[in-house]
Amino acid sequence: MSVEKKDDEMVGYRQQPGKLPFSKPGSGGKNQFSKPTDASIIPESQGGSKKQPWGPHPHDELVSGQAIGKPTAMVDSRWKVTGQAHYGDDVRLAGELIGRIVRSPHHYARVLSIDVTKALELPGVIAVATGADAANKFGVLPVTKDEHAMAVEKVRHAGDLVACVAAETEATAREAERLIEVEYEILDSIHDMRDGLEDSQTPIHDRGKYHIGESNIQKRVFQEFGDVAGMSQAAVASHKQNWLFAGVNHAATEPHAVVAHWDPSGRLTLYTPQQVPHYLHRALADVLEIPMHQINVHRTFVGGGFGGKSDPFPHEMCAAILARKAGRPVRICLDREEVYWINRGRHPSRIEMNLHADSEGRICGIETDALIDGGAFASFGHVTTYYNGVLHTAPYEIGAFHYTGARVWTNKPASGAMRGHGAVNSRCAVEVGMDDLAEQLAVDPITLRLANLLPPHSATITGFRVTSIGMRECLERVRAASGWDDKFRKMPLGKGIGIGCGFFISGSALPIHWDPNKFPHATVHLKIDMDGGVTVHTGAAEIGQGSDTVIAQSVAEVLGLPLDMIRIKSRDTDTSPVDLGSYSSRVTFMNANAAISAAMGIRDELLDATVEITGAERNKLVIGDRRIFAKNDPAVGVSYLEALHKAQEDRGALVSSGAYRTPPMGRTHKGAAAGLAPAYSFSAYVAEVSVDIETGQTKVDKVWAAHDCGKALNPLAVKGQIIGSCHMGMGQVLSEEMRYLRSGHLMNPDLLDYKIPSVHEMPEVIPIIVESNDLEGPFGAKEAGEGPLLPILPAVCNAVYDAIGVRTSELPITPDRMYRMIENRCRAEKVSDPLDLASPRLEHSALQDTLDARSNAHTERDIERRLDDEREPYHNGALFGLDPTIPPDEVDPRWAVTVLPSDEYLTTPRLAGSAWKHTERRHRGDA
């Protein structure tokens, strides 16, 4: 058999048989002359032919054409598909013990005594631990640390941790579990979030002087911006809906698992599939009372996170405590049911959504009241409470915004952060409201949206700095691709089409721990030794989203290297610089920026070395594929390795560090930082559905999904995120719910009864990538991991309305709920057979032309703004006649910012707003 010699393969390096071919490091040797890089990859701003309709980007000069923008398989995908990736429960250490957790069978109870004698007597049991072994509290947010490793005094939900045991085998551990005798005093539990607003004899937590009355309110928010008093007077159309959203769980494929090992030096290594190793690192130090430098958190491969692995967890503490007691490694792997007990899924919510539009089709007001069910612990709840409001102050320019939010404790597994954190439910309510406003105004809902968009580089009513906005392109592209104009309000009964938009943060501007001051959000270290391979140390947690890949791509792009020359070390806190973790869609934005900055350090040294060798003009040098050469004369240049070896003379390996920190931004009112982000993503989806009128079963037939991610660094990954988001969001809108029955028990803590859509339910999704070229994003990129989930829910709800004319206000729209709505419509319209119902139809009103004209004018405005470096500020409010260059509250007293309710409001508060009826203990004078 003759083997074809590949020009690209390494010469002079011996390949092991059967191994994958590697590309050769440096193109020196046979091919002395660099080929100028393909001009179609080089941006116009750098003399190439790649069009830049959104203008140039500061990173343009770093484009080498190597990796960015190319569909790239994940760098760790071979590990996964060949089964060689080690997830949490795959870690095996010599002498390991198996840990099991004893959980509460009661919703709410005082723990009177725990007797572990019998368990300890069982042969094979090595250690037992209880709440007495770990007195210190922890929690992901430093302001709301309210968790213990195991119950101290009280258990707060069925499934709460009481004790744990480590034994030689799992069977022994499970037997020992039964031998631990716990005596409880059962307390009155609450399960309805509305009860959490009331005073209680035994509130689930006690926050001392900060406790809000005697209630179970964990957090409350009141915010008013803009002309709140004037909005209902100006309104010619108003939408009001009371929503009930069931809680949903991330249901990641991999259940949580952890291995703890105290090594002979007395240091702890904790192996765990974590999204935020750094916060766990801190929490472990708190709970175990040892300094952080004595702990190494090793992130294993993560089999899906979606926010469900982003808290420091009690079982992680248990493993560490048991391992310390036993003097041997301890492994704990949760059952699926236990995954539901630790939950941290999306909050069950009651949201009242009010939207107002004036005679010119402007959104003159949004009033939102969101009561969210936090379950037994705070988790990320503080943030969630804000996000339910502030994250729907864009993409539309609005005249007023009123938000009251409250998060209450109930005796359920804790809710927390889940993909689209805090934004999903209220976004669904807003977008359905927009659809209803369009219906009332008799205009096309896409046109209504297009005529009310904030322009690029503007500030929202809450003062968020929004940079690039691709919302308009998203809307226009899904409108065209889906054939919207031929379908909307024109399809037969049972068939419908609907639109939904999304807006999401691309990284949180305020880190959860803001000490020490000015500490970066992300740091990346590079090391290159004489072999030419680049070792990247980053703390960014690869959770399957492709962070390792995107970091590798960024470094490869700047240094002009193939991906296989980049090796990512992102696992151990011992060797990785601190990174805040994989949450709030921050990793690509922040970590890739840090990686680019680190790579630029190396790039400078390589260019210096090239100048030294060739004497070429430094500013003419460019980096192509493994070669550095003069732009004007490609024959003048050196191979990457030559330059590298020159740079390493007398000093050895090159090292470089890069970091990213968000610029200062935002306003100063209480809560102003919640929702601030260095950039925001935008999306618009159109969904087409079929509803079986007789059974109420809804099937999504097709989805056109446009997402503005700034720049798709890896289009394959962006498409994957869009399709995956559709699947996850479809679950929430159609079938997934954590169902609690009358006794407060979670009825479906398993994957048979927790109804994740199967492949049969999954529609064809057409992902459409919009690239708005964010000036601060790495190569222009913004997030694509969470934002794409938001629009699918309202798109489906609105499509359902188009199909059968019923507006849902309860998710998921399971067939029984849908059937009830159809029955109600039949009853209201006195129709006996639902098949005789009329489909909604639309006759445009005169307003349609006004909106079209405004939308066209805004299109020009937006293009001008995005390309103009000298642009004036634009504050929300300009559409309502205010001076765009000044924050409206500074010019118009009616647009004042308010963060405390008035006495008048408190006479008739909305549901969550009633949380403000209580007085904080410290202000009551009896704390």
Partner 1 sequence: MRMPPFELHNPTSLSEALATAADLEEAGQDFDWIAGGTDLLPNYKWHINAKKHVIALAKVSELTELSPTHIGAMVRLHDLAQSDASHPVLAKAANSIASVMIRRSGTVGGNICLDTRCYWFNQSEQWRESIDWCHKCDCGTAADCRVIPNQNTLCVATYQADLAPVLMCLEATIHLASPSGQRSVLLSEFFELDGMTRNVLQRGELVTHLTLPEGAGEWQGDYQKLSQRESWDFPEAGVAVLWKRNGGAKPADLRVGTTGLESIPGFHTEEAASALVDWRGKESIDELAEAIRKAVKPVQNTWYAPSYRRKMVKVLTRRACAGLL
Which residues make up the interface to partner 1 (CB under 8 A)? 103, 105-106, 158-159, 170-171, 174, 335-337, 694-695, 735, 741, 743, 745, 747-750, 752-753, 755, 757-761, 814-816, 819-820
- Residue 887's Cα: distance from chain center in Å? 29
DSSP 292: G
SS3 for 629-670 is EECCCCCCEEEHHHHHHHHCCCCCCEEEEEEECCCCCCCCCC
The DSSP-derived string for 447-514 is HHHHTTBPPSSEE-TT--EE----HHHHHHHHHHHHTHHHHTTTSPTTEEEEEEEEEEESS-SS-SS-
Nearer to partner 1, 106 or 256 (CB): 106
Amino acid at 721: Q
Nearer to partner 1, 336 or 620 (CB): 336
Nearer to partner 1, 162 or 882 (CB): 162
Nearest distance in Å: CB 88, partner 1: 17
DSSP 14: P
Phi and psi, residue 800, nearest 5°: -60, -40
Nearest distance in Å: CB 234, partner 1: 43
Nearer to partner 1, 104 or 582 (CB): 104
Nearer to partner 1, 498 or 757 (CB): 757
Nearer to partner 1, 267 or 817 (CB): 817
Q: Is 581 helix (H, G, I), strand (E, B) or coil?
A: coil
Nearer to partner 1, 170 or 214 (CB): 170
Nearest distance in Å: CB 331, partner 1: 14
Nearest distance in Å: CB 335, partner 1: 5
Nearer to partner 1, 91 or 101 (CB): 101
Nearer to partner 1, 296 or 814 (CB): 814
Amino acid at 883: D
Nearer to partner 1, 9 or 816 (CB): 816
Q: Is 863 helix (H, G, I), strand (E, B) or coil?
A: helix
**Are 725 and 703 contacting, i.e. CB atoms less than 8 angstroms apart?**
no
Amino acid at 530: M
Nearest distance in Å: CB 553, partner 1: 37
280 CB-near residues (< 8 Å, 6+ apart): 270, 272, 274, 297, 312, 313, 316
Structure tokens at 230: 């004037």
Nearest distance in Å: CB 170, partner 1: 6
Nearest distance in Å: CB 177, partner 1: 9
Nearest distance in Å: CB 816, partner 1: 4
Nearest distance in Å: CB 694, partner 1: 5
**Are 169 and 131 contacting, i.e. CB atoms less than 8 angstroms apart?**
no
Give the dihedral sign, CA 451/452/453/458: positive
Nearest distance in Å: CB 313, partner 1: 18
Cβ neighbours around 790 below 10 Å, total? 33
Alpha-carbon distance 612 to 600, whole Å? 18
Alpha-carbon distance 512 to 527, whole Å? 29
200 CB-near residues (< 8 Å, 6+ apart): 190, 214, 215, 216
Alpha-carbon distance 145 to 13, whole Å? 55
Cβ neighbours around 669 below 10 Å, total? 15
Alpha-carbon distance 454 to 621, whole Å? 41
Task: Write down how long the chain is.
Answer: 927
Alpha-carbon distance 299 to 142, whole Å? 22
Nearer to partner 1, 90 or 771 (CB): 90
- Residue 879's Cα: distance from chain center in Å? 31
Structure tokens at 152: 């101290």
Cβ neighbours around 660 below 10 Å, total? 24
Nearest distance in Å: CB 204, partner 1: 18
Cβ neighbours around 819 below 10 Å, total? 17
Structure tokens at 1: 């058999």
Nearer to partner 1, 681 or 735 (CB): 735
Nearest distance in Å: CB 411, partner 1: 12
- CA-based radius of gyration for the chain: 29
The DSSP-derived string for 142-160 is GGG--B-SS-SSEE-STT-
Alpha-carbon distance 556 to 554, whole Å? 5
Nearer to partner 1, 602 or 837 (CB): 837
Nearer to partner 1, 529 or 761 (CB): 761
Nearest distance in Å: CB 258, partner 1: 18
Structure tokens at 714: 């890896």
Distance (Å) of CA 319 to CA 166, 293, 329, 333, 367: 9, 19, 8, 10, 46
For residue 640, give the nearest of 665, 603, 675, 669 by alpha carbon: 603
**Residues 128/132/137/140 CA torsion (nearest 10 deg):** 10
Nearest distance in Å: CB 753, partner 1: 6
Nearest distance in Å: CB 742, partner 1: 10
Nearer to partner 1, 103 or 278 (CB): 103
Nearer to partner 1, 255 or 348 (CB): 255
Largest CA distance in the chain: 90
Sheet of strand 109-115: strand arrangement: 154-155, 109-115, 181-186
Nearer to partner 1, 761 or 892 (CB): 761
Nearest distance in Å: CB 30, partner 1: 52
Exposed, middle or buried, 519 (CB in 10 Å: 0-12/13-18/19+)? Answer: middle
Nearest distance in Å: CB 105, partner 1: 4
Nearer to partner 1, 110 or 325 (CB): 110
Structure tokens at 223: 């915010």
